[in-house]
Amino acid sequence: MRERMGKLLAIFIGVALLGFIAEEVIRSGSSFFRGDATTVAIVNGEKIDYKDFNARIEASTQQFKQQYNQPLTAQVTDYIQNTTWNQLLASLLLKKESEKLGLVVGDAESAAMISGNNPDPQIQSQFADESGKFDKAKLNQFLAYVQSGKMAPAEMQRWGEFVNNLIENKKQQKYLALISNGLYVNSLDAQDDYTNKNKLANFKYTVLDYASIPDASVKPTDDDYSTYYNEHKALFKNTDETRSFDYVSFNAAPSKKDSAVIKEQVDKLAAAFKESKNDSLFVQINAETKQPITFLKKGQLEPKLDSVMFNAEKGFMYGPYLSNGSYKIAKLVDVKVGPDSVKARHILLNPATEGGMDKAVAKADSLKKLIQGGKSFDELAKTFSIDKNSAVKGGDLGTFARGAMIPAFEDAAFDGKPGDLKVVKSQFGVHLLQIESQKGSSKVVKVAIVDKPLSPSSETQNAVYAKAQQFLSTATADNFAAQAKKAGLTVKTSDDVTPTAASIPGLESARPVIKWAFGADKGAIADQVFAVGDQYIVARLNSIKPKGTLPLEDVKKQIEPAVIAQVKGKMLSEKLQSALNGATTIDQVAQKAGSKVVPLQNIVFANPVIPGASAEYKLVGSIFGSQPNKLSKPVTGQSGVYVYTVDSFVNPAALTNTVREKQQLDQALAQRTPSLVLDALKDKANVKDNRAKFL
Residues 92-138: tens digit of each pLDDT: 888 888 888 999 999 899 999 998 888 998 888 888 776 678 888 88
- % of the chain beyond a pLDDT of 90: 52
Instruction: Return the CATH class of domain 341-439.
Output: alpha beta
- How high is the pLDDT of residue 198? 95
**DSSP secondary structure, 474-504, as one string:** H--TTTHHHHHHHTT---EEEEEE-TT---B
pLDDT at 622 over 60: yes
Domain ranges of the chain: 2-32, 107-182, 200-238+553-650, 242-253+456-543, 256-337, 341-439
Q: With beta carbons less than 8 A apart as the criterion, state whether 626 and 618 touch.
A: no
- CA gap 370, 383 in Å, rounded: 13
**Average pLDDT of 305-320?**
91
What is the overall mean pLDDT for the chain?
87
Q: How far is CA 234 from CA 113, 231, 545, in A?
A: 44, 8, 16
Q: How far is CA 230 from CA 226, 551, 561, 565, 661, in A?
A: 6, 10, 16, 16, 39
pLDDT at 554 over 80: yes
- How high is the pLDDT of residue 534? 86
Amino acid letter, residue 16 = A
- How high is the pLDDT of residue 6? 44
- How high is the pLDDT of residue 29? 35
- How high is the pLDDT of residue 685? 85
| Residue ranges of E strands in 546-658 | 548-549, 598-603, 635-636, 640-650
Q: With beta carbons less than 8 A apart as the criterion, state whether 596 and 590 touch.
A: yes
Higher-confidence residue of 283 and 131: namely 283
**Secondary structure letter of residue 550 according to DSSP:** P
Q: With beta carbons less than 8 A apart as the criterion, state whether 430 and 360 touch.
A: yes
Buried-state track 324-363, b at ≥16 Cβ within 10 A, e below 16? eebbbbbbbbebeebbebbbbbbbbbebeebeeeeebbbb
- How high is the pLDDT of residue 33? 34
Tell me which of 198-207, 308-317, 432-441, 502-511 is least confident. Answer: 502-511
pLDDT at 239 over 60: yes
Q: Which residues fall within 8 angstroms of residue 407, CB to CB, at 6 or more apart?
A: 292, 294
pLDDT at 356 over 50: yes
pTM of structure: 0.63
Residues 164-174: tens digit of each pLDDT: 888 988 998 89
- How high is the pLDDT of residue 401? 86
Angle between helix 50-68 and helix 74-101 axes, rounded to 10 deg: 120
- How high is the pLDDT of residue 183? 87
Determine if residue 394 is left, alpha or beta; phi over 0 gives left, psi from -120 to 50 gives alpha, anything else beta. Answer: left
Q: Which CATH architecture has domain 242-253+456-543?
A: Roll (3.10)
Closest CA to 198 of 633, 627, 558, 607: 607
**Average pLDDT of 314-330?**
92
- pLDDT band for position 391 (cuts 50, 70, 90): confident
**Domain 256-337 annotated CATH 4.10.860:** no
**DSSP secondary structure, 422-481, as one string:** EEEEETTEEEEEEEEEEE--EEEEEEEEEEEE----HHHHHHHHHHHHHHHHH--TTTHH
**Average pLDDT of 417-426?**
92
Closest CA to 579 of 567, 563, 597: 597
Residues 495-535: tens digit of each pLDDT: 999 988 888 888 888 889 999 999 899 999 999 999 998 89
- How high is the pLDDT of residue 387? 86
Tell me which of 23-27, 224-228, 469-473, 559-563 is least confident. Answer: 23-27
- How high is the pLDDT of residue 69? 64
Higher-confidence residue of 475 and 71: namely 475
**Average pLDDT of 64-68?**
72
pLDDT at 5 over 70: no
Pick the most confident of 268-272, 309-313, 595-599.
595-599
Determine if residue 496 is left, alpha or beta; phi over 0 gives left, psi from -120 to 50 gives alpha, anything else beta. Answer: left
Q: With beta carbons less than 8 A apart as the criterion, state whether 573 and 635 touch.
A: no
Residues 9-52: tens digit of each pLDDT: 343 334 343 343 334 333 333 333 344 678 988 988 889 998 88
Identical fold between 256-337 and 341-439: yes
Residues 334-348: tens digit of each pLDDT: 998 889 899 999 999
- How high is the pLDDT of residue 632? 96
pLDDT at 247 over 70: yes
Tell me which of 25-29, 400-404, 686-690 is least confident. Answer: 25-29
